[in-house]
Structures are given as structure tokens and as C-alpha cells.
Amino acid sequence: MVGITSYGFYIPKFRIKIDDIAKVWGKNPDEIKKSLNIFEKTVSANDEDSLTMAYESTSRALNKIKINKKEIKVLFFGSETHPYAVNPASTILGEFLGIEGNYLAYDTEFACKAATGALISALSLIKSGYSNSAIVVGSDKAISKPHDSLEYTVASGAVSFILGNKNLALELVDYESFSSDTPDFWRREGIRYPSHGGRFTGKPSYFYHIQRVSEIIFKKNKLKPKDFTFGVFHMPNGKFPLQIAKILGFRSSQINDSFIIPYFGNCYTASSLMGLAAILAKVKENNLIYLCSYGSGAGSDAFIFRATKKINQIKENFQEKLKDKKYIDYPTYLKFINII
């Protein structure tokens, strides 16, 4: 068996309320909150980026377990906001963590599923015998054009997983992917802010890909949504995850704990992984967990995990960290995301 041996997450301390963004642009905050089901979002400080957040989350994951770093021969860094266009963040992270040079490192980018794609690659390399351990990180400092609808949702955060073939906290049962060329969201080289095609974002993109990959993996493993204790979905806003869960047949009780976006925002590559991190404090041995990401462009990765008794040794109180916050105003927000 292969799977997850440890995890760590980093939640920036700063928050901005949707009310404060809406009032700057003369919008009705109540209408926006009702439309998006988001009330506030995380904001990384001006001295933070996807790499510094990744270091924080990975350090926390490593500190929970005893591991020989020489066994880590794989380090993948998934993000839409790598600090360099040319120069891998994965090797910088490896250097900071003290991992020796005999390891495979690369950065991945596939909108919000860059890290789950890397998760599949890393798990496969462990299954093949290439490495006994691997690190996969999803981290983003997401920004949008001011006064764009994305400004109300894009957020910051990082999640890291240590993968292995022994002492597993979450055993991998199976994974599947489903992909297509669907232009719902894009950003050309040299352009700072992303663009999005509204009519493609919902039914032909998010819902179509998650529904298709879910049907495939459920049929393959002869499972139904009712068989899972927890369901976790990518969270681009506060309505889509609830809708797709209902379409697939999940109960609200199965996704409530992972549904963090109303008070977190969409941290892009880390979004679905942050949802997974949010539930692990409540997971018990033999619980089945369903994780499904989505990335614009487009595609979804689906995973089935089974918890072992080792999960109790690495649990961390997600809600306690989420409540540790400090609110900022809109000018400070612009400063923190390097617009002013």
C-alpha cells in the first residue's frame, strides 16, 4: 500500500471581509455574499508568497513524523503563482528543507489541480519502487484584477503531504482523472491577471469534469457516495461544491467539515487539499474519504483514501488555526498583494 504519512497546512493570519471590498466599488455586499456564499477570505502578507507558505506547511508536515530525509527522492510543487517564471520553486523548497541533491524535483501548473496531478505522479513513483517517500505541495497567493468578480473569492494558503509506503495515516484505495480542452479560465504569458469565460465556468467545466471522474471511480471500485464518511471538493465559490455534492448523492453531513470557503476563500491549487486538511482532525480509523479536485482548462483528479489508526498521531486542529486572524482594510489588502 501507498498513501499519506503526514500533512501540514499554512493559513495566513490576515483576512479581508467581502463587505470591505464591495463598499470600495459601490456594490451591495449582501447581494455579493448571497451570490457567492463567501463572507471573508485569507490574505497573505506582502512578505509572503507561495514558496514561503509552502515552506511553512511542509515543515509542519515533516515535524509530525520521524523520517530519514535521504529517503525523500521526489518533491513536487503545484501552484499557479510560482515566485519565478523561470527557476523552480521545488528546488528552493528542497534546499530550505535540507533535502540532499539526489531527488526528483519539478513545479507543476494546471490551474487549481496542479497539486493533485502531482499527487498522482508521486504516488505512482512510490508504487513503482522509485522512492520510499515523497513531498507534494499545493500553494498559492492568488490575485485578481481589482473590481473583477474573482476579487471576492481568490485567497492564499498552502498544504503539504508526505507520501510513503509505510506508517500510513491514509491508505490510497484508488485514483482517476478526467480531462478536456474547455476554456473557462486562462492567463497568457506576461499578463498579470487571469481572464474567465463565465458561460463555461459552471456546467461544461466544473460540474461536467467532477461528475464524470466521480462516476468512473465509483463504478470502478463498486462504491456509492453513501459509503464515504467525508467528501471533499474543489471550492471556487460557496455554491458549486454544495451543488455538485448534491448531484452526486452526498449528504450535507458528509461535506460540512470540508466546506471551508465561506470563511477562507479559494486558495486555488491548495483549495481541495485544504478541504482535506480541514477534516483530518475528525477522521477515524477505517473512514473512507473522497477527494475530488478541479482545474480550469480543464480536468479533475479523484482519490479514495481509507484512514488507518496512524491518523491519530498526526492530527492538527484546523478550526483553531482558521480562527487565528486579523482583519485588514482594502488599501492594506492592495499593498499585501503587491498592487500598490
Residues 27 and 143 in one domain: yes
Residues 187 and 307 in one domain: yes
What are the tens digits of pLDDT across the range 276-321? 999 999 999 999 999 999 999 899 999 999 999 999 999 999 999 9
pTM value surpassing 0.85:
yes
Residues 69 and 131 in one domain: yes
Mean pLDDT of 315-339: 95
Residue 5 has pLDDT above 70, yes or no: yes
Specify the number of domains making up the chain. Answer: 2
> What is the span of the domain harbouring residue 196?
171-313
Residues 14 and 156 in one domain: yes
Residues 131 and 100 in one domain: yes
What are the tens digits of pLDDT across the range 193-212? 777 666 566 688 999 999 99
Residues 326 and 296 in one domain: no
Residues forming the active site: 80, 112, 234
Residues 8 and 20 in one domain: yes
Residues 75 and 48 in one domain: yes
User: What's residue 160's pLDDT?
Assistant: 98
Query: What is the CATH number for 179?
Result: 3.40.47.10
Mean pLDDT of 187-195: 75
Q: Using pLDDT thresholds of 50, 70 and 90, give the confidence band for residue 131.
A: very high
The rounded percent of the chain whose pLDDT value lies above 70 is: 98
In sequence order, the 6+-apart residues with CB closer than 8 A to the CB of 68 are none
Nearest to 321 by CA among 272, 292, 281: 281
Residues 242 and 300 in one domain: yes
Residues 181 and 88 in one domain: no
Residues 192 and 54 in one domain: no
CA atoms of 134 and 136, how far apart (whole Å): 7
Residues 176 and 165 in one domain: no
User: What's residue 223's pLDDT?
Assistant: 98
